[in-house]
Amino acid sequence: MLTRRQALATLASPAMLNRNHSIIDPHVHVWKHDPRYPWAKETTRPPEKDATPEMLLELMAANGVARTVLIQVIHYRWDNSYAADVLRQYPKFFRGVARVNPESPAAPDDLSRLVEQQGFQGVRLSPAADASGDWIRGPLMPPLWKRCQDLRVPMTILTAISRMPDISALADKFPDLTIVIDHMADCPADRPDELKKLLALARYPHIFVKVSHTWSISKEPYPYRDAQEQVHRLYKAFGPQRLMWGTDWPLVEAHCGYAKALAMVRDEMKFLNEEDKTWMLSRTVERVWKFK
């Protein structure tokens, strides 16, 4: 295993897709068993193993991934302290997306603080598919989405395919807001008609889609040909300039693993040409998250 020093030394000269673009993973999580960063009270079964930035940096170095976007993990809920400390420790390698309580009237001001004082570049909301997620249709959403738009940071959405009409309604109200749909809205590969709800969002030029979680939506073994069909349909609707890959590390380790998550786009999706891969592995991410 690479040491932390070796990993950092390797990443100092990042692997390139071509002369101008390095690979960027826009979706990982980090956490640590540490009393300085307590789990949220709702986290009754915290993960058994740590997922630290040092572990991640080793994987990145081994697989030629130069930069990464950290997504605040739900285990901490609205306490973004650990992610904020990781961003301060490794500003060269990471950008961060925070969480705020969507059912709190203070959420817009919380987001401003996280962006302006702690350096986060975006927020993630996760409305459930059932009635408990109906707050996405409620009166607290327009102030939060407007603040996100005013701050010029992306709104990242983790939700089921059935919620896409709700996202469309908000996109109509905030046409200048960059919106990222995580994991292809987790549309099951054996329900291809449902993908139409996500495809309908292609009419909004500021909506992007992560073609991640192929291992989750598929009903087949790697390389998940049925999920690749979903990606191909999204590719034809959105174009590679609005699609991006993502590992969802460390959750991916229980499925195909980090290296194969990269290989899915780089090697297995035969309908992609080299220019497409440059977009989906790098340039699209750079359109949404700024790395200096």
Question: What domain range is 122 assigned to?
Answer: 4-288
Interaxial angle between packed helices 141-151 and 107-116, expressed in degrees from 0 to 180 and rounded to the nearest 10: 20
What values do phi and psi take at 8, rounded to 5?
Answer: -65, -35
pLDDT at 17: 66
Q: What is the pLDDT of residue 1?
A: 46
Q: What is the mean pLDDT of residues 186-212?
A: 97
Average pLDDT, the chain: 94
Q: State the CB neighbour count (10 A cutoff) for residue 12.
A: 11
Confidence at residue 224, expressed as pLDDT on a 0 to 100 scale: 98
pLDDT in tens, 210-268: 999 999 999 999 999 999 999 999 999 999 999 999 999 999 999 999 999 999 999 99
What CATH number is given to the structural domain containing 33?
3.20.20.140
pLDDT at position 138 is: 98
- Distance CA(166)–CA(184), nearest Å, equals 15
Asked if the model's pLDDT at residue 2 lies above 50, the reply is: no
Closest by CA position to 202, among listed 215, 225, 185? 185
pLDDT of res. 18: 55
pLDDT digits over 279-292, tens only? 999 999 999 998 87
The pLDDT value recorded for residue 9 is 54
In this predicted model, what pLDDT tens digit does every residue of 83-102 receive, in sequence order? 999 999 999 999 999 999 99
Report the domain count for the chain: 1
Residue 63, pLDDT above cutoff 70: yes
| DSSP H helical ranges for the chain | 4-11, 53-63, 81-89, 107-116, 141-151, 164-173, 196-199, 214-217, 225-238, 258-263, 274-278, 284-288
Give the SS3 label for residue 59. Answer: helix
- For the sheet with 243-244, list strands across it: 23-28, 65-71, 94-99, 123-125, 155-157, 179-181, 207-210, 243-244
Report the C-alpha gap between 44 and 184 in whole angstroms: 28
Q: Residue 63, class by beta-carbon neighbours within 10 Å (0-12 exposed, 13-18 middle, 19+ buried)? A: middle
Q: Are 120 and 98 in contact (CB under 8 A)?
A: yes
Give dist(CA 181, CA 211) in Å, integer: 9
| Per-residue model confidence as pLDDT tens digits over 102-122 | 999 999 999 999 999 999 999
* Percent with pLDDT over 70 in the chain: 93
